[in-house]
Amino acid sequence: MGKTLDGFYKNQSVIYKYFLYVISAGLIVFFFPREGKFKYEFQKGKPWQYETLYAPIDFTVKKTEEEIAEEQQNIRDNRVVYYTYDEAIFKEVRSTFETNLRGGLNQGTLTRNQYNRFLGIGTGLLEKVYENGVFSEIPNAGNITLIKANEAKTLGKPFVQDLERAKAFIKTELDQLNLGGASAVLYQTLADVLRPNAYLDQELTQKALDEELSQISLTRGHVSKGTLIIAKGEVVEADNLKMLNSLKEEFESELWKGDNYYYIILGYAVLVALVLMMLFLFLKKYRAEIYANNKKVTFIFFNVILMVFSTTLVVKTDETYVYVVPLCILPLILKNFFDARLGLFVHVLTILILGFVVPNSFEYIFLQIIAGIVTILTVSELYKRANLFISVGQITLIYIIGYFAFHVIHEGNMLGIEWGTFGIFLLNGMITLFAMPLIYLYEKLFGLVSDVSLLELSDTNSKLLKELANKAPGTFHHSLQVANLSEAAANEIGANAMLVRVGALYHDIGKMNRPTYFTENQTTNVNPHDDLPPKESAKIIIDHVIEGIEMARKYKIPDRVIDFIRTHHGTTLVYYFYKKQLDIDEDVELSDFRYPGPIPFSKETAILMMADSVEAASKSLKSPTYPIIDDFVEKIVQGQIDANQFLNANITFQEIEAVKKVLKKKLTNIYHLRVEYPE
């Protein structure tokens, strides 16, 4: 039992990676849509590249969503609108007319003969007007049905009238009767009593519309098993495209049923496991320092799962908006925290996983890979806000150009472009801008450091650097000089200049505890090492590395910066005190005079080691000249190479030569060397 627990603790890092691997694969497969995958890939306008295809099963050819929507719209445009005829209103209007007319008789304005004549004319006109009803408004529909006395009567537009038309009809009829001055009186009497009596029956109209819509057929025909669908080399278009889409939909829905469910899950799991295995192998072989850090590995896998989850959620909801998911955030963030190669590799693997679930997978994979490459090539120095906006603009432009090219290939012309898709790409770009707050959030959650944080750390007014300037001004000045040298060298070979500058500013903070034991802080001729044995002096000098690490942790300096404190002396010797000890005792333990390391493991940490040693040793130069500086830099850097200090750093000899060239040039500028003119 004890051996088992001991083995568990020794291998807990590896066990955690296995656990992360299994959980990640399981989550990704769980997010996948529950449907099978059609075994043929095809696109409109391209030749069928497989063998001649015959229908493997009986299936119906389904109408496209556009065709169904067009039929539905056609029914709505030609729908029957029902109006209800109110007989009671007509009777009230007629009764009111008779009452008003009798009032004129009683008041003596009308004679009995005029009353009888006007009553007959008016009643006849009202019956004509109200025969098809007076509508509250003229309907826009093409088909109008009036429900009168439980009978439906279809009316054409010419037979439909509202109050204005009814009044105009009455006026025309009266003018033809030649009643003279009495015509206006009778018209006014009729106009005053007219009221609408035909009203829209919304419930009946909607019910009839719903019934017509429900009768739309979703299919356009039936294909029997064995029917030729498409021949090899035939272009995918028109009818065969509809049959292929219908077969694909039928096949995928049937494939997921029964025992097939478990086999499909197994297939997805194997493919996802292979992709994630490639990611682990890449990290182990080419990014060993990241692979060894479980927090960083978890961070990478978390982002992959987040992108898969977001995309599959959109696909399940409405696949039209699949490009809304800002997939380019993934390489952008990984490049910001790690490097471009890792960012692009993870991006491509994530796209391969999503290729199982997105529609038009070839188009999707092509566009996303191109967009990812553009992200890697354009995104740099994110602490400059304008850079992110420029990069997002370029990414959005690539999406738009790619979509336009695919549309032209499929349709053979520029007609039918869905301009709304461009809006989706623009929305994608705006969401990608969320990368900045997301980077900040990741820094807090995973303890990582970005260029934005590095910019904050490079501020010499920060609490820790101000304390260094007050307690050890010589060390602070030395750190500034090293930062300038390192930054220039990093720019020369394409390393992370901001990171190496910040590392240089903090690399000697451990000297604050005992500043006078370091020559750059000694303002008098008194050297405290004169009263100490060489071994103790060496321990004080070496301890500034350990104390610097402790101090950095206290002030919550990120690990990427602390790495510079650890490695800036590598495993070199405190040579001065080592030689001094040899003069006293030839039997010397090298470990007492050697820095604990580790040796530099990146271009940036290697640059700092060279710049730190050169700048510190340059203080001992007397009357420096070009040849002296040249030999001086060569000697120091070559000594570090001979001591195997750069074995773990991914820096080439060519890059080391470039760094030396920059250091020589900068030292020449520092000492203000001029060309010596002959006397």
Strands 53-54 and 228-230 turn out to be antiparallel
Q: Report residue 256's pLDDT band, with 50, 70 and 90 as the boundaries.
A: low
Mean pLDDT of 528-535: 85
Q: How far apart are CA 120 and CA 113, in angstroms?
A: 11
Percent of the chain with pLDDT over 70: 91
Contacts 24+ apart (CB under 8 A), 533-536: 533/581, 533/584, 534/577, 534/578, 534/580, 534/581, 534/584, 535/577, 535/581, 535/592, 535/593
pTM of the model: 0.60
For residue 43, what pLDDT is reported?
67
**pLDDT value for 382:** 61
* Highest mean pLDDT, choosing among 129-138, 180-189, 275-284, 579-588: 275-284
User: What pLDDT sits at residue 486?
Assistant: 94
Asked if pLDDT for residue 435 goes beyond 50, the answer is: yes
**pLDDT of 165 strictly over 60:** yes
pLDDT (tens digit per residue) in 497-518: 889 999 999 999 999 999 988 8
More confident residue, 161 or 334: 334
Give residue 552's pLDDT band: very low, low, confident or very high (50, 70, 90).
very high
Mean pLDDT lowest among 294-303, 446-455, 465-474, 567-576: 446-455
pLDDT band for position 2 (50/70/90)?
very low
Yes or no: say if 478 and 615 are a contact pair by the CB < 8 Å rule: yes
- Whether the pLDDT of residue 491 is over 70: the answer is yes
Q: What is the pLDDT at residue 5? A: 43
pLDDT for 4 beyond 60: no
**Three-state secondary-structure class, residue 331:** helix
Cβ neighbours around 9 below 10 Å, total: 10
442 has a pLDDT exceeding 90 = no
What pLDDT was estimated at residue 260?
A: 67
pLDDT value of position 115:
81
Instruction: Determine the average pLDDT of the residues in 544-560.
Output: 91
Q: Average pLDDT, whole number, for the chain?
A: 83
3-state secondary structure of 219: strand
Report which residue type is found at 320.
Answer: T
Per-domain boundaries in the chain: 53-63+217-255, 74-212, 259-417, 458-670
Compute the distance between CA of residue 294 and CA of residue 298 in angstroms, rounded to an integer.
Answer: 6
Copy the structure tokens of residue 315: 């696909």
Q: Would you state the pLDDT for residue 674?
A: 47
Beta bridge partners of 62: 219
| Rounded-to-integer distance, Cα 321 and Cα 311, Å | 9
Four-way CATH pick for 458-670: 1.10.3210, 2.40.128, 1.10.490, 1.10.1060: 1.10.3210
Look at 359 and 261; give whichever has higher pLDDT. 359
Return the structure tokens found at 358. 């997105």
Confidence class for position 257, pLDDT limits 50, 70, 90 = low
Specify whether the CB–CB gap between 435 and 329 falls below 8 A: yes
What are the b/e assignments for 190-200, b being 16+ CB within 10 Å?
beebbebbbeb
Exposure b/e, 115-153, CB count within 10 A at least 16 = b? bebbbebbeebbeebbebbbbeeebebeebbbbbeeeee
pLDDT at res. 35: 61
Write the DSSP symbol of residue 530: G
Q: What percent of the chain has pLDDT over 90?
A: 27
Sign of the Cα pseudo-torsion (316, 321, 327, 329, in order): negative
Q: Which of 183-197, 426-440, 576-590, 646-660 has the lowest mean pLDDT?
A: 576-590
Q: Which of 208, 198, 203, 126 is nearest to 162 (CA)?
A: 198
* Alpha carbons 417 and 245: distance in angstroms, whole number: 21
Residue 430: CB atoms within 10 A of its CB come to 12
User: Any residues with CB less than 8 A from the CB of 237 and at least 6 apart, and which?
Assistant: 44, 45
Q: Tens digits of per-residue pLDDT, 609-619?
A: 999 999 988 88
3-state secondary structure of 50: coil
Q: How confident is the model at residue 307 (pLDDT cuts 50, 70, 90)?
A: very high
Number of Cβ within 10 Å of residue 39's Cβ equals 9
Backbone Cα Rg of the chain? 43
Whether pLDDT at 369 is above 90? yes
**Which residues touch 399 (CB under 8 Å, ≥6 apart)?**
323, 367, 371, 425, 428
Give 160's DSSP letter: -
- Per residue in 76-121, pLDDT tens? 888 888 888 888 888 898 888 888 888 877 777 777 887 888 888 8
Distance CA 455, CA 474 (A): 23
Minimal CA–CA distance to 43: which of 351, 362, 322?
362
pLDDT band at 8 (very low <50, low <70, confident <90, very high): very low
More confident residue, 73 or 307: 307
| Predicted pLDDT of residue 590 | 78
Instruction: Give the Cα separation of 252 and 161 in Å (integer).
Output: 56
Nearest to 391 by CA among 429, 345, 431: 429
Mean pLDDT of 210-215: 85
Among 519-523, 541-545, 572-576, 588-592, the least confident range: 588-592
**Average of per-residue pLDDT across 651-659:** 93
pLDDT at 7 over 60: no
Could you tell me if 449 and 561 are in contact, meaning their C-beta atoms sit under 8 angstroms apart? yes
Element (H, E) at 657: helix 653-670
Looking at residue 557, its amino acid is I
Q: What is the pLDDT of residue 262?
A: 75
- Distance from C-alpha of 459 to C-alpha of 590, rounded to nearest angstrom: 39
Region 115-133 average pLDDT: 85
